[in-house]
Amino acid sequence: MWAEEIGELARRRARAAQLGGAASVERQRAKGKLTVRDRIERLVDAGSWREVGELTGRTTYAEDGSVAGFTATNTVLGRARIGGAPAVVVGDDFTVRGGAADPVGSAKQVYAEQLAGQAGVPLIRLLDGTGGGGTVESLLDMGRTYVPWNPGWDEVVANLGRIPVIAVALGPVAGLGAARLVTSHVSIMVRGLSQVFIAGPAVVAAGMGEEVDKEGLGGWRAVARAGTVDLVVDSEDEALALARRLLSYLPARVGQEAPRGPASGRVAAEPDPDLRAAVPRDRRTPYDMRAIIERVFDPASVLELGRYFAPSTITALARLDGWPVAVLASDPRVYGGGLTADGSDKLARFVDLAETFGLPVVHLVDQPGFVIGSAAERAGTIRRGARAVAAIYETTVPWASVIIRRVFGVAGAAHRPHHRYTFRVAWPSGDWGSLPVEGGVEVAFQRRFAAAGEDAERMKAEILGKLEAVRSPMRTAEAFGIEEIIDPADTRPLLCEWMSTARDAPRGPALPRRSRP
């Protein structure tokens, strides 16, 4: 009965599948890039894709009313399953106007945000272009300019508190596209293929007089070290696989429990004697904190975020006995593990992620304090550090701290939210106080050393010897200043035991976020 219309529907779907046309698709692939439909096919579970707005585009008609030409819009969206769970995917089509959205494409982007956020399912954005209001050339078609606005930005912002949002840069991403990339929980880019910037090289040259190419302006070295993106990989396939993996650590929506990992990822919580040799006796000798992390958490479960940004602070997703957790640590090989201004921002954002999705936090602590000096002061380290401390105190998720070595000063005091119960143990290598003994003795005994003259070094050695006994973590345990000192080999079993009950513990009321400095 409706054969003619059904036939026309099939023809229009076939035209939409051609994206920007054969020539544009060939140019895309000649650059070593997948098309948006290739990307979606590799991202989602086979056979699960259900497109929304497939027929959207610019159509021209002949005098008899037949279709003379059709160009698909440059936004593709739909529902699918990823790892067996529902999700929404929205992608830029660079083969149409270089990914610069027209009003219809923008409407589809807004719909994708609404669909995911209000249905309570994760959203993945595949970004390749500006994703904004078009090029200057498009103004000639409109015959006017317009006052800028970001369509649907209320939904974009709201989704950060509703559902997991993963954004993947798969080409040059500028302007509103770059804003959509970073307004996510985790962002990914591809080395050499994608760049991220506020405005591209031509606009920078015209506006700032600076000549720079795309890679120099927004390549992975620049933006990963700035903390603009969280993860960097070598291919589109890796990026898409990583987006799938990220969702496995997070619940479908805020308020749900994150899924437990597969049985193959859970191993017996047995003692690990190798951890006893992980920390050297010489307190000035660095060690490999990441090697400790790999041994404490489930095998192959550790996914570090932001490795190139603020490298003295380590943030990662991992699993304990299959359960997802948020991992905090310091790298003693960078600034001794000290907390920098950038590290404070990194820590606060990561703690927010854990709090949003109810991930228990495990903090492996070796914190000598804030990095000091004139550069640190110019960076506003104490202000940004205080904000990180506030973020920690605003958490309600279960929290475990394992003190590996140092805990000093304000930054060290932020190893847990002290106003509520948290699980805390220390290794025998624990060393703590308001400031390290070696530096503090110079300040505390400055006048006595000056008065001692030639005997100053002998006096200093004598005082340090006495302090060496006082600084023993056993002395602190005697006063219940630390709840328990453990054999490092028992770290994983104890954390797995804690996790078995922590995930069911009730969460207290959160402090208002306006409390942050």
DSSP code per residue over 457-512? HHHHHHHHHHHHHHT-HHHHHHTTSSS-B--GGGHHHHHHHHHHHHTTSPPPPPPP
Q: How many CB atoms lie within 10 A of CB 207?
A: 9
Q: If you average pLDDT over residues 99-122, what whole number do you get?
A: 87
For the stretch 296-346, pLDDT in tens is 999 999 999 999 999 999 999 999 999 999 999 999 999 999 999 999 999
**What per-residue string of b and e applies to 101-110 under the rule 16 or more CB within 10 Å gives b?**
bbeebbbbbb
Q: Could you tell me the two tokens for 13?
A: 């779907």
Given a cut of 90, whether residue 137 has pLDDT beyond it is no
Share of the chain above pLDDT 70, in %: 91
pLDDT surpasses 70 at 198: yes
The encoded tokens of residue 363 equal 């903090």
| Least confident piece of the model among 11-20, 371-380, 414-423 | 11-20
Distances, alpha carbon 362 to alpha carbons 13, 54, 120, 357, 450, in Å: 50, 45, 27, 15, 45
What are φ and ψ of residue 34, in 5° steps? -80, 160
Q: Does residue 17 have a pLDDT over 90?
A: no
The answer to whether residue 265 scores a pLDDT higher than 90 is no
Gyration radius (Cα) of the chain, Å: 27
pLDDT at 515 over 70: no
Asked if 412 contacts 371 with a C-beta cutoff of 8 angstroms, the reply is no
139-165 per-position pLDDT tens digit:
777 777 777 778 899 999 999 999 999
Domains of the chain: 3-57+71-247 (3.90.226.10), 264-427+486-515 (3.90.226.10)
Residue predicted with more confidence, 101 or 409? 409
Whole-number pLDDT of residue 514: 46
pLDDT of residue 16: 78
> Given phi > 0 = left and psi -120 to 50 = alpha, else beta, which region is 209?
left
Tens-digit pLDDT profile for residues 112-128: 999 999 999 999 999 99
Q: Are 125 and 156 in contact (CB under 8 A)?
A: no
17 to 51, 76, 92, 108: CA distances (angstroms):
11, 10, 14, 17
pTM across the whole model? 0.90
Residue written as tokens 């993106």? 229
**Over 70: is that where the pLDDT of 131 sits?**
no
**Average of per-residue pLDDT values in the chain:** 89
The yes-or-no verdict on residue 516 having pLDDT over 50 is no
Cα angle 261, 495, 369 (rounded to 5 degrees) comes to 115
Distance of CA 318 to the CA centre of its chain: 13
Tokens in use for 221? 């070295």
